[in-house]
A = this chain, B = another copy of it.
Amino acid sequence: MRPGKIRFRFLILGLLSQQPMSGYDIKRFLEDLSWLIGNVSFGGLYPVLHALLDDGMVTVDVVPGDGKPSRKIYTITEIGRGVLKEWAERPVASDVSLKAFAMCLILAGSFSHAGLVARLEQRRTQVLEHEATLVKALEGLDQGEDLGQSLALEYGLAIADAESAWLNRILGQLSIETEVLDPLDDQGV
């Protein structure tokens, strides 16, 4: 497996693990989320698909388009699933950026329930730490001077607040589901 294209490789593999798609489909799917994870260009996307194909992680079916150009539908292989699973379950080193976490979320389907919860909790811890940092930075700032810095810090804080609230909500939902599925957990801890 030759190196390179690590970040998007797994994202694409994860999308293909949910359903077979063409390069164009993937682009459009990710466009909705470009706000969080940035735009993906065809120039980056197609080469990754070719590389995945070379490595046996996906297969292609050429579907002649009715009128439209024919599409290349990529389907994940068992090898691909194995690699994805291995990647998903390995612990992530302090995964600070929002973009990286959003990518992680998209791949939620590739995680075990416990793995997903663990990752969300890890994220919550990080966000809380980050909030503390921002608050401290804001306190050490004379109000009024350095508009940009204070705006950026407040912006970051607003977003961090929203994120931790969201994480709490989702983790709450997930734990309820766990109790329903596995009531023994109630007593264990």
Distance in angstroms between the alpha carbons of A162 and B162 in the assembled complex: 6
**0/1 per residue, A1-43, Cβ < 8 Å to B?**
0000000000000100010000000000100111110110000
B166 adjacent to A97 (CB under 8 Å): no
B102 adjacent to A156 (CB under 8 Å): yes
8 A Cβ contacts from A133-189 to B: 133-134, 137, 146-149, 151-156, 158-163, 165-166, 170
Which label, helix, strand, loop or mixed, suits the secondary structure of the A interface?
Answer: helix
8 A Cβ contacts from A105-122 to B: 105-110
User: Which residues does chain B contribute within 8 Å of A14, judged by CB atoms?
Assistant: 148
B105 adjacent to A155 (CB under 8 Å): yes
B38 adjacent to A99 (CB under 8 Å): yes
Tallying the copies of this chain within the complex gives: 2
Residue A98 interfacial (CB < 8 Å): yes
Known: A14-B148, A33-B153, A158-B166. 19 other contacts (CB 8 A): A32-B133, A35-B96, A35-B97, A36-B98, A38-B97, A38-B99, A98-B98, A98-B99, A102-B152, A102-B155, A105-B155, A108-B151, A109-B146, A109-B147, A154-B166, A154-B170, A158-B165, A159-B162, A162-B163
